[in-house]
Structure 1
């Protein structure tokens, strides 16, 4: 491994841990590894990922080019003299440099146009004017009932229940598939891969806001060009000074993020937007009622200009949408041709993790690099994407809509439509019958059920669910039924417009059935079905238990897969439950230390209250009034000592609400007033509510965005503040409590989920069964069972500690920051728990103390910081 820059083109002088991170990343990509990296927030993780990966990419392209020149010259001209070989090399180099110069000139022209605020292209003015027309509301008014009629469904592919087109199962119309084919963005074939300039880096994170932050870091990096002219550049006609090569980046998003048709984007929901977009492309739609922004065959010049503009600057998702509006072309579709010319593509989790989304976006991972940031929740994210649910009320409404539809159109349905619609009704009847049989269940109690119970209806076992699911998707049955129901609602109600708008923002009922049917076809070993009574409705859920197979395709196709996060510990779960098939030689891990000195962090395991009561916030002890009061008294003691802001995390919303209620009624042993009053006298109180809205002690705030400025203002006013939050809630991830916003993080208890609930029972049984079935497992039955239980317990504890580690990671956010972490529970003093804390915390962990000893330690810690601030910057 040889990099052209020891600093990896880092825009600043890198810290040692940043250099260590980039070196390990470079080597992991070079050696085609699956790697897990942990680098605490504030250590420049994003820049390290960017510089390490892109330096490798440019180095790799340079080596590949040099190797190809040597091979061509030697293999083709082996009998020629040296000067002929050298001339061939120079010719090859000159061609490559000229091609790069031509591309860079195109991108430069695009940048110049934007610098002049170029709003439209004069040569495309007629086309732009055509696009600028607004789709009239008469689209819906003028529709006749034929638009709701199902198209004939008789092709051999459909009868076989399989489509040769990998995108057909996405419900794309024939026109859309043809469009993607014309744009050259269908799923890439093997022979297309040779046309790429080199590997592409696919970088994904959880949200578009995190991707926007990443893009801002990307703009800071300058990279050397792949091909350097010889020092005597005149010999090949290229100036040595003209070697600039811009970084080509593209951001991808869903229709919801990129749709520029106001009539469609205003529908709000992802599914409604997707369906309406497809409606405007379907065969038979009059040209003047199709989406005016959809690329057409004659629009190739505009598509090429959009491609050049998209790559000319490093843009976030909002920039790409604005570009589409300015050029009057759909950025969702027009961005596809730019993928193969990109060096790095950014996109959110679901678009990479879900195979159907990758196919829709024409993403080919073969021999490319995948970097997944904020990967601590990756396994849960994969399971969430492939899990599904449907309620009794949805099933009943869907059946009612379907029967009304049939009553109107049954004489006009032909061929396979009749068969498949009848099968859809039978499946729904079976699920409704099961749901009604369980409708008397106790509210809130979740129970496991089997697939054969769900599909016990008459002759349902004779239905090919693969064919039926393909039919529902390809015929777009859900949208037809929903559209006709919407049409009837308009006719029957004087408030039809409002009602229609409301309906169109939600997913058509039969789409829930389609999603749930996909789960019914999953291997039973991978997941479990549950039912639960919530309020007056019964819900059937499918939960994927094993993300391995769904993520395996990504690992097998990609050259390298990198998981990165601020708190990836404990890492064993990824090895055992996400990559069990990856050989130890291909799997690597790295846990970086923090850039702050150990003296900037003070971690206290607090096992006892001032009264001597042992803190034990197990689920069964959370209703203990003495324990709750002791927690409140401890918080009073802590916030009296800690300056500025204090964030306190609780294991659940229910326990936080219990504490707040008790503290308002329980007198403090010190002041005689309520514990709540004692806290609020020292610092204003803000707290998180279960609805994800947040409240203050004086007035409610409707959202996280509304509360955090108030919390910040209270601290900056000199009063300080205390924020009561929940682990795994809206404030435990992605929120920056740097500097005075979080001088201490207090964690009460551990957020262990209920191990006796149906979901966790199934998870732990599944983990245990995998250990039992693993090759080489013990032949001793008792030992095998014990090993399975131990593995299940380890998985259960690791999931809990990852949530805790995310919460405590709010404390230190940059090199000059400092904070205390107070872990209030006797279990935090045990080796079993402490070994699962992040590595960067372990140097700062103090011996177990009680509340009084912790308060004295805090006093000394902050006094030392005040006396010697330079030691911590």
Structure 2
């Protein structure tokens, strides 16, 4: 037969309606724009779908990230230029037969062009006011939703002849009809979303997204959530003139309607702990939700946890002596471990301070690079296995919540031990303060700290702790290098079946590790 080129992605999407199982990214359901286009193309409705969310502990943050949009003055300028180009294209098309059908669209684009052009001065003043209003030593501040919207409303008033460009009692004249204030932002969003211009190719070879579309996404975010305390906006000084970022504090506003309209859902993860917290955060209906935490299928004796009680990364107790002690615990673990060791820290800065600037004997160090590709990560695991087979050892160093500590499958006993430095609490910020305030409103003060600070930090540790245990016959020693994990604030955030032991100094760490590796061998459980 005749051969013809086709698009595998298009074929796969069209075949979904006849499939029993579809595997895809979270965005297919939890990004409203993607969901609407995807389900329409797949000829599916939410009511037809049973949703299974793997690694569901990531879903709240993924939803928040989807609604994290950034606005800069450069984007406003580029949007104005894109509207000018799009308007010119429409004007040329109007000269063609049947082009009169585009007259209304062209008029709306011209209105949006004038609104954005007139708003540029207002945005310049807003960004300048935000920068000049920063407290001494601060690089960020909260931005009111009305502060941003008022710039656009004032520009609309100018374009429609309601203010400026006239004397008192002068008759108001404008080439545009007045647009009701209640629908202005909706209309501007829709027009910006429709902008179609030629764009340069990005790093992936595909055309970049027009700035007009990005601004439209910000307006859509303000329309959907701007009247709620669940949305906060933050100005920071990064970039040429600073930027404003939107943050959705409540992922349940996005997740709840998706789950309630679906035919059912299963959310699962090795660190979906406690499950009731995630059910509340995602707005799952209480009457139809069952939250269950199962004991780990991996024997506790094959994955003991050792807490170093003489070290901490608490800011007020940091110092050279404390850092030396942390390094000594890591060296003791290396000395007593027959294979590769991984170490994770709360930040790249701390990783460099504690690990990068130190020398550890008996191992070759591999430090995480933020630029690593998926192929690079796969090669890391193969390198660990090759070195282990050759009788050599590696100290793998990474960061909590980054790529080495989550999602990488260290199969085949690639790691024999993991050391977790500190507790990865988020640094104080406008966003973290807003998140805690909102959580207090929604969940109460008692749960707010756990839901926004202590539990997310512990769950990042749990993710890192689980890296070496990938099969029932694996075994690994976990060392937690911060005595605070024994304090009630954090201790009750760990699963109850986790076996905790203590080491008061590096020598105790070495003794515990030697006993563990002498007693528990990798391989068949039946032989233990």
TM-score using structure 1 length: 0.51
Instruction: State the alpha-carbon separation in 1 of the partners of residues 283 and 22 from structure 2.
Output: 24
Aligned-partner SS, 1:456: helix
Shift of 1:331: 3.8
Matched with 2:345 is 650
Instruction: State the alpha-carbon separation in 1 of the partners of residues 51 and 89 from structure 2.
Output: 50
Residues 427-450 of structure 1 show CA distances to partners (whole Å, capped at 9, x for unaligned) of 555434322433456898221101
Residues 187-232 of structure 1 show CA distances to partners (whole Å, capped at 9, x for unaligned) of xxxxxxxxxxxxxxxxxxxxxxxxxxxxxxxxxxxxxxxxxxxxxx
Residues 160-200 of structure 1 show CA distances to partners (whole Å, capped at 9, x for unaligned) of xxxxxxxxxxxxxxxxxxxxxxxxxxxxxxxxxxxxxxxxx
Instruction: State the alpha-carbon separation in 2 of the partners of residues 456 and 554 from structure 1.
Output: 32
Residues 263-319 of structure 1 show CA distances to partners (whole Å, capped at 9, x for unaligned) of xxxxxxxxxxxxxxxxxxxxxxxxxxxxxxxxxxxxxxxxxxxxxxxxxxxxxxxxx
Instruction: State the alpha-carbon separation in 1 of the partners of residues 385 and 139 from structure 2.
Output: 40
Q: Which has the higher mean CA deviation after the structures are superposed, 649-658 or 395-404?
A: 395-404
CA spacing shift, 1:792–1:866, aligned 2, 3 Å? closer
CA spacing shift, 1:509–1:563, aligned 2, 3 Å? same
Matched with 1:683 is 363
Residues 111-132 of structure 1 show CA distances to partners (whole Å, capped at 9, x for unaligned) of xxxxxxxxxxx2xx2xx4xxx4
Residues 636-664 of structure 1 show CA distances to partners (whole Å, capped at 9, x for unaligned) of 1110001111001111111112224542x
Query: Does the Cα contact within 8 Å between 1:816 and 1:872 map onto a contact in 2?
Result: no
Question: Is residue 826 from structure 1 mapped to residue 507 from structure 2 by the alignment?
Answer: no
Q: In the TM superposition, what are the counterparts of 1:221-232 in structure 2 within 5 Å? A: none
Question: Is residue 816 from structure 1 mapped to residue 473 from structure 2 by the alignment?
Answer: yes
Instruction: State the alpha-carbon separation in 2 of the partners of residues 542 and 849 from structure 1.
Output: 45
Question: Is residue 634 from structure 1 mapped to residue 329 from structure 2 by the alignment?
Answer: yes
Shift of 1:819: 0.6
Question: Is residue 757 from structure 1 mapped to residue 429 from structure 2 by the alignment?
Answer: yes
| Length, aligned pairs only | 483
TM-score using structure 2 length: 0.83
Matched with 1:519 is 221
Matched with 1:454 is 148
Question: Is residue 349 from structure 1 mapped to residue 26 from structure 2 by the alignment?
Answer: yes
Matched with 1:138 is none
Instruction: State the alpha-carbon separation in 2 of the partners of residues 500 and 635 from structure 1.
Output: 43
Instruction: State the alpha-carbon separation in 2 of the partners of residues 643 and 330 from structure 1.
Output: 50
Shift of 1:550: 1.1
Matched with 1:741 is 414
Query: Does the Cα contact within 8 Å between 2:274 and 2:293 map onto a contact in 1?
Result: no
> Which of 509, 513, 520 is matched with 1:858 structurally?
513
Matched with 1:767 is 439
Query: Does the Cα contact within 8 Å between 1:744 and 1:820 map onto a contact in 2?
Result: yes
Shift of 1:814: 0.4
Residues 129-165 of structure 1 show CA distances to partners (whole Å, capped at 9, x for unaligned) of xxx4xxxxxxxxxxxxxxxxxxxxxxxxxxxxxxxxx
CA spacing shift, 1:365–1:839, aligned 2, 3 Å? farther
CA spacing shift, 1:381–1:862, aligned 2, 3 Å? same
Instruction: State the alpha-carbon separation in 1 of the partners of residues 308 and 204 from structure 2.
Output: 52
Query: Does the Cα contact within 8 Å between 1:570 and 1:802 map onto a contact in 2?
Result: no
Instruction: State the alpha-carbon separation in 1 of the partners of residues 341 and 467 from structure 2.
Output: 11
Q: Which has the higher mean CA deviation after the structures are superposed, 357-366 or 559-568?
A: 357-366
CA spacing shift, 1:372–1:427, aligned 2, 3 Å? farther
Structure 2: where are the runs of 5+ without partners?
Answer: 95-102, 158-180
Which protein is bigger by CA-based radius of gyration? 1
Matched with 2:177 is none
CA spacing shift, 1:587–1:515, aligned 2, 3 Å? same
Structure 1: where are the runs of 5+ without partners?
Answer: 1-121, 133-327, 487-498, 609-614, 664-675, 695-700, 772-786
Matched with 2:79 is 398
Q: In the TM superposition, what are the counterparts of 1:292-691 in structure 2 within 5 Å? A: 328-362=5-39, 363-402=44-83, 414-427=106-119, 429-439=121-131, 445-457=139-151, 458-460=154-156, 462=181, 464-473=184-193, 476-477=194-195, 479-480=196-197, 482=198, 505-524=207-226, 525=228, 526-579=230-283, 582-583=285-286, 585-608=287-310, 615-622=311-318, 624-660=319-355, 662-663=357-358, 676=359, 679=360, 681-689=361-369, 691=370
